[in-house]
Amino acid sequence: MDSLLPLAQKVGEKLKARKETIGISESSAGGLVSAALLAVPGASAYFMGGAVVYTRPAGDAFLAVPREKRAGVRSSSEPWALLAAEHVRERLKTTWGLAETGAAGPTGNSYGDPSGHTCVAVVGPKGSIARAFAAEALKLMDEQLS
């Protein structure tokens, strides 16, 4: 967590200065990205909410991605991360949506992804981009705010 706090501070300061907001969807990170952003004083100015979407039922409840949009898109993939980021942004009506999905371990997931496999995505006014893991999620956010 200590290594994430400086990145979260940078992201939080930029979001506050721009009067922009963010919504988060996490899976294998288990709320770590949200926790880092919420550790920044004044987070209520930009953090509109987040969910740990660890299972399909959680995704159905919190993201409510229509069946036709998720057809052919599997969890723990870049396309799912992008879809989750789009939906958390839409549902919370935020400037930015950030999503993470993956396999926490210790044995990987049912799709055959090894433990530690994670994809992240950021969707916002500058478009969308996807990469891999929790620190990368904050780096992506910082890049998009630059």
128 membership: H or E segment, kind and range: strand 127-131
Taking 80 as the threshold, does the pLDDT of residue 112 lie above it? no
pLDDT category at 132 given cuts 50, 70, 90 is low
Residue range 58-83, pLDDT digits in tens: 888 888 877 788 777 767 788 889 99
Question: CA–CA separation, 124 vs 111, rounded Å?
Answer: 29
DSSP code for 40:
S
To the question of pTM greater than 0.85 for the whole model, the response is no
pLDDT category at 128 given cuts 50, 70, 90 is confident
Residue 141 confidence (pLDDT): 81
Residue range 10-42, pLDDT digits in tens: 999 999 999 999 999 998 888 999 999 999 999
Question: CA–CA separation, 7 vs 1, rounded Å?
Answer: 10
Taking 90 as the threshold, does the pLDDT of residue 137 lie above it? no
Residue range 85-111, pLDDT digits in tens: 999 999 999 999 999 988 777 787 777
Calculate the alpha carbon distances from 44 to 13, 56, 103, 108, 120 in Å: 12, 28, 30, 34, 23
Please provide residue 128's backbone torsions phi and psi, each rounded to the nearest 5 degrees.
Answer: -135, 155
Alpha helices in the chain (DSSP H): 5-18, 32-38, 56-62, 67-70, 78-92, 134-145
